[in-house]
Amino acid sequence: MGMSKRIELSSEKHYVRYSDSRYRADDGVIYRIVGRNQFVEVCSSDKDITEADLADEVVIDGKLYPVLAVGGEAFRNCPELTTVAFPASLKKIGSWVFYDSDKVDHYIFNGCRELDVTSLPNVERADYDSLNTLMAVGNKGKRTFVAGEELTDLVVPEGTKELPDRLLDCCESLRSVTLPDGIETIGSDAFRGCKNLTNINLPEGLKVIGYNAFYDCINLEDAKLPSTLTVIGSEAFSCTAIESIVIPDETTVYHGAFRICSKLKSVKLFEGHLRSRQEG
C-alpha cells in the first residue's frame, strides 16, 4: 500500500458548520469523528471531486484519529470521480458508496465506470455492512461475486448480527445460505431475485426479515421461521415456492409478505397476536 498518509485539520479552518464533527479536507473529502471519538470515517465529499487519496490518519485540533471507515453513499453523485485510493487502515466500507457516480462501470460501486480499485485493502469479510460493496461485481443486473467467481454457497461468519439491505440481490448463482446463531436482522432486498436459492436456515434469535428479503426466490421451498421473529417485511417471501409456513407468536406480518406464493398450501398461526399491516 505504500507509505501511510496523514493530514491535519482544524476547527478554525476545516469545520463544516452545518454538521457537527465533520471536517472538509483541502481536496474536498469530508471526514467525520465517530465511535465516541475513537476513529474517523469518510462520510461525504464535494460533488465536483475527480479523484480522492484518502488519509490513513487524521489529526484534528491536535488529536490523532485513524481512518477506519468509508460511510454509505460517501461519494454519491460525484459525476467526475474516476479514482479513489483507499487507506491501508480501512476496516469498513458502507453500502452504495459510489451511488450515481457516473464514470464507474462496476456494480460493486453501483454504476461508477472507471474507478481504479486495484489498491483496495483486505477489508474483513465478516463486516457485512460492506458485503454488498465488496462482493458484488458486474452490471446490468447480472452479477458475479467474490473477485469474479460465482457465489453458490454463502456461509455468514459467527458474530454477524445484521445482513445489510441489497446484500446479494439478483445473485442467480446463489444456492444456499448458512446463517450463524445470534444473527438478528436480514436487510431489505438482501436476497431478492436469487432465483436458484433453495436452502436457507433461519436460526433462533432472528428478529427481523426486511421487505423483499426473499422476493422472487422462485426455488425457495422451505422457510422455518424462528420463535424469536418479530417482523416479516412486506413482500418478504413473495413469489417463492414455499409450500407451508408457521407464523410465530407475536410476529407482525406486513402487507403482501407471502403474495403470489402459488404453491403455498398450509399456514399455521400460533395463539398469540398476528398483525398484518402496511409498512410506512
Q: What CATH code is carried by the domain that includes residue 104?
A: 3.80.10
Q: What is the CATH number of the domain that holds 161?
A: 3.80.10.10
Q: Based on the domain organization, do 154 and 130 belong to the same domain?
A: no
List, edge to edge, every strand of the sheet that includes 185-186: 162-163, 185-186, 208-209, 231-232, 252-254, 275-277
Residue 264 C-alpha cell reads as: 403455498
Q: Based on the domain organization, do 111 and 166 belong to the same domain?
A: no
Query: Does 77 reside within a domain?
Result: yes
Q: Based on the domain organization, do 264 and 156 belong to the same domain?
A: yes
Give the model confidence (pLDDT) of 11-32 as tens digits.
888 887 656 678 999 999 999 8
Q: Based on the domain organization, do 19 and 132 belong to the same domain?
A: yes
Query: Does 145 reside within a domain?
Result: no
Q: Based on the domain organization, do 91 and 168 belong to the same domain?
A: no
Give the model confidence (pLDDT) of 263-274 as tens digits.
999 888 765 444
Q: Based on the domain organization, do 205 and 158 belong to the same domain?
A: yes
In this predicted structure, which of 13-17, 32-36, 108-112, 123-127 has the lowest mean pLDDT? 123-127
Choose the final residue of a domain: 140, 167, 182. Answer: 140
Q: Based on the domain organization, do 124 and 159 belong to the same domain?
A: no
Give the model confidence (pLDDT) of 216-243 as tens digits.
999 999 999 999 999 999 999 999 999 9
Query: Does 255 reside within a domain?
Result: yes
* More reliable by pLDDT, 75 or 213: 213
Q: Based on the domain organization, do 93 and 222 belong to the same domain?
A: no
By residue range, what is the domain housing residue 156?
Answer: 150-280
Query: Does 228 reside within a domain?
Result: yes
Buried-exposed string 94-110: b where 16+ CB fall within 10 A, e elsewhere: bbbbbbebebbebbbbb
Residue 8's DSSP bridge partners are 59
Q: Based on the domain organization, do 5 and 114 belong to the same domain?
A: yes
Choose the final residue of a domain: 118, 140, 162. Answer: 140
Q: How many domains does the chain have?
A: 2
Query: Does 19 reside within a domain?
Result: yes
Q: Based on the domain organization, do 162 and 133 belong to the same domain?
A: no
Global confidence as pTM:
0.52
Q: Based on the domain organization, do 130 and 231 belong to the same domain?
A: no
Q: Based on the domain organization, do 133 and 156 belong to the same domain?
A: no
Choose the final residue of a domain: 82, 111, 140. Answer: 140
Q: What are the φ/ψ torsions at residue 134 (nearest 5 degrees)? A: -90, -30
